[in-house]
Amino acid sequence: MFVEFSDFFRSHLFSSVNDSFILTEDMAIWIVLLYLSHYWDAPDAIAWLTTFGAVLALGVEQGIMLGALIALALHLWRTSHPHIAIVGRLGDSEHFRNVLRHNVKTSPEVLAVRVDASLYFANAKYLENFLTQTIADRSDIKSVLLVCSAINLIDASALEILESLIADFRNLGIQFYFSEVKGPVMDKLAKIGFVDYVGRDRFFLSTDIAMQELAGI
């Protein structure tokens, strides 16, 4: 990456070997940020560029405050659209991977979904919409398995949406299951009665065990 940056830096500062150019500190910072926006994460680069511009225009204190607000807004936006993957068994192994990335075994009657984020008020509705839309497109689904290996927290708002979702699916004849729920999350779910509401037999230690029992694969 440093070689790329060096080439980028030279190409944008000098048109030939003999050219001379006086680079101010502000211009150098802008060039670095523009480079980052091209090669790194664009939202992060936008936040940095905006913060830098705000500091120059409004002053250090106000510029940093604006940058903090932008960073918070970006965080909420990102976490409100978590990565969700439909997963299947990788060969004869115990591993389950994204069906869009690997050649995996799946069951037409069991929808195994992994959410790569904690569930809270900002993204629970996104998961609900994903599941309801997927089920609407696949009328043969009889069971939904939520793989919780990446979930570190489920807040009250997300639990309320999950309870409503489970009830709606039951009315459609679709059963809801969980696998790989982390210990602290499971403790909280048990403490507030969610485990008893869903049914303790609906929680599996691993996705491997769950899919063997639910789908026979």
Structural domain boundaries in the chain: 2-79, 84-215
Report pLDDT for 62.
Answer: 82
Distance from CA of residue 138 to its chain's centroid? 23
Report pLDDT for 1.
Answer: 45
Report pLDDT for 175.
Answer: 97
For the domain bounded by 84-215, which CATH number is listed?
3.30.750.24
Q: Does residue 66 carry a pLDDT above 70? A: yes
Report pLDDT for 20.
Answer: 45
pLDDT digits (tens, 9 = 90+) for 101-148: 999 999 999 999 999 999 999 999 999 999 999 999 999 999 999 999
Q: State the pTM of this model.
A: 0.75
